[in-house]
Amino acid sequence: MQWQTKLPLIAILRGITPLEVQAHVSALLDAGFDAVEIPLNSPQWQQSIASMVTEFGDKALIGAGTVLKTEQVDELAAMGSKLMVTPNTQPEVIRRAVANGMTVCAGCATASEAFSALDAGAQTLKIFPSSAFGPDYIKALKAVLPPEVPVFAVGGVTPENLHIWLQAGCAGAGLGSDLYRAGQPVSRTSERAKAFVKAYQEAVQ
């Protein structure tokens, strides 16, 4: 199993609106990002995701986060979403997304949850909230997981500490409020995105 994009960093645009989404996603792609998650607790997420899939679906893995129900997966599949990120381990939701050809990054915290997600077909795992568990926890968890499964740290990852998560065995990270906060200007998104790309490149040299 391999992460599907060149840069294993998922931009999480929680709270983004349809009016501003295009400018922010453009800024992210210009900085080098190629995976974008719009959580379903964002305003009018259907509009934002559908328009970004249409506009950038050939250049980046575009999809949804905070997906909790199979009905939401069906709605996402209908609009061509290719990425599904969950906050929890819900085998039914994972199976439905995999059946629809999506890349699934399943949220988990324990070995039991991680293996349940993998059994359901998840290709990638996210340890959430990573900052609460710490890199040593992830390192220990990685010891029992299949080595080829990409593990992402989500929660509390910054450009300054990204290298610590990568050293712990993470393939990459999901980036929330340290990359994007609802209402921030596009210039801020661009600046933060560049800082994360630089931090990743320096960490893997």
Mean of the per-residue pLDDT values of the chain: 97
**For the purposes of burial, counting CB atoms within 10 Å of the CB of 123, is it exposed (0-12), middle (13-18) or buried (19 or more)?**
buried
Question: Does 126 qualify as catalytic in the annotation?
Answer: yes
Percent of the chain clearing pLDDT 90 (strictly above): 98
Condensed to tens digits (0 to 9), the pLDDT of residues 58-106 reads 999 999 999 999 999 999 999 999 999 999 999 999 999 999 999 999 9
**Residue 131: partners with Cβ closer than 8 Å, 6 or more residues away:** 155, 156, 157
In a domain, 63, yes or no: yes
Q: In angstroms, what is the C-alpha Rg of the chain?
A: 16
Tell me what the mean pLDDT of segment 113-136 comes to.
97
Condensed to tens digits (0 to 9), the pLDDT of residues 176-185 reads 999 999 999 9
Q: Which CATH number covers residue 52?
A: 3.20.20.70
Question: Does 59 qualify as catalytic in the annotation?
Answer: no
In the set 6, 37, 55, 92, the catalytic residue is: 37
In the set 113, 126, 148, 160, the catalytic residue is: 126
In a domain, 2, yes or no: no
* Residue 9, pLDDT above cutoff 90: yes
Tell me what the mean pLDDT of segment 16-36 comes to.
98
In a domain, 132, yes or no: yes
In a domain, 41, yes or no: yes
- The pLDDT value given to residue 73: 98
- Residue written as token pair 């050293």: 167
Tell me what the mean pLDDT of segment 5-26 comes to.
98
In a domain, 109, yes or no: yes
Closest CA to 46 of 98, 81, 97, 70: 81
Closest CA to 14 of 170, 167, 189, 204: 189
Tell me what the mean pLDDT of segment 21-50 comes to.
98
* Residue 1, pLDDT above cutoff 80: no
Structural domain containing residue 155: 9-204
- The pLDDT value given to residue 2: 80
Split into its structural domains, the chain has a count of 1
